[in-house]
Structures are given as structure tokens and as C-alpha cells.
């Protein structure tokens, strides 16, 4: 399943790449891209575990960029 989510308060392109790398390491993630210019996360992951993987992605991103929010709703 592939979904995109808007980001809020992503301040740095380097942080965006660090966030993408952290998400890609999560088990079940097929691909992840965090676009600083578009302020968007695009995540492709296993359908059955997508919600669980998304929660882990949000947690990983908070560690790197505490002020950035992934708008999942």
C-alpha cells in the first residue's frame, strides 16, 4: 500500500533525509521518501501491517525532528 501524508514544521532538508532513512529501516517498509520541498511523506509498506508501520514511522521521525508533525488524519 502506498500513501502520502503532509508534514508540518519540517525545517531542514538534511533532517528530511535522516527521517526517510530511519523509516526505510522499519521492518515491512518497501520505500519511503520525505520531501522537504513538498513537505510530504510518501510511504509504501505491507498492507496488513500498514497502520503499525505508520505509527513506528511517526515515532522515528519525532526522534529526529521533534517539532515536525506527520498529519495522518
What is the per-residue pLDDT for 27? Answer: 97
Q: How confident is the model at residue 66 (pLDDT cuts 50, 70, 90)?
A: very high
What is the per-residue pLDDT for 47? Answer: 95
| 70 strand-pairing partners | 7
pTM for this model (two decimals) = 0.92
Q: What is the CATH number of the domain that holds 52?
A: 3.30.70.100
Q: Is the pLDDT of residue 73 over 90?
A: no
Q: What is the pLDDT of residues 1-51, one digit of tens each?
A: 999 999 999 999 999 999 999 999 999 999 999 999 999 999 999 999 999
Dist. CA 17–CA 51, nearest whole Å: 22
Q: Which domain holds residue 52?
A: 2-70
DSSP string, the chain: -EEEEEEES---HHHHHHHHHHHHTSTTEEEEEEETTTTEEEEEE-STTHHHHHHHHHHHHHHH-TT-EE---
**Domain tally, the chain:** 1
Amino acid at each position: 500500500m502506498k500513501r502520502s501524508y503532509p508534514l508540518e514544521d519540517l525545517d531542514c532538508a538534511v533532517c528530511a533525509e535522516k527521517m526517510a532513512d530511519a523509516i526505510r529501516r522499519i521492518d515491512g517498509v518497501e520505500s519511503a521518501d520525505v520531501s522537504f520541498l513538498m513537505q510530504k511523506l510518501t510511504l509504501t509498506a505491507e498492507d496488513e501491517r500498514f497502520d503499525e508501520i505508520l505509527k513506528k514511522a511517526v515515532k522515528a521521525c519525532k526522534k529526529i525532528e521533534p517539532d515536525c508533525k506527520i498529519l495522518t488524519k
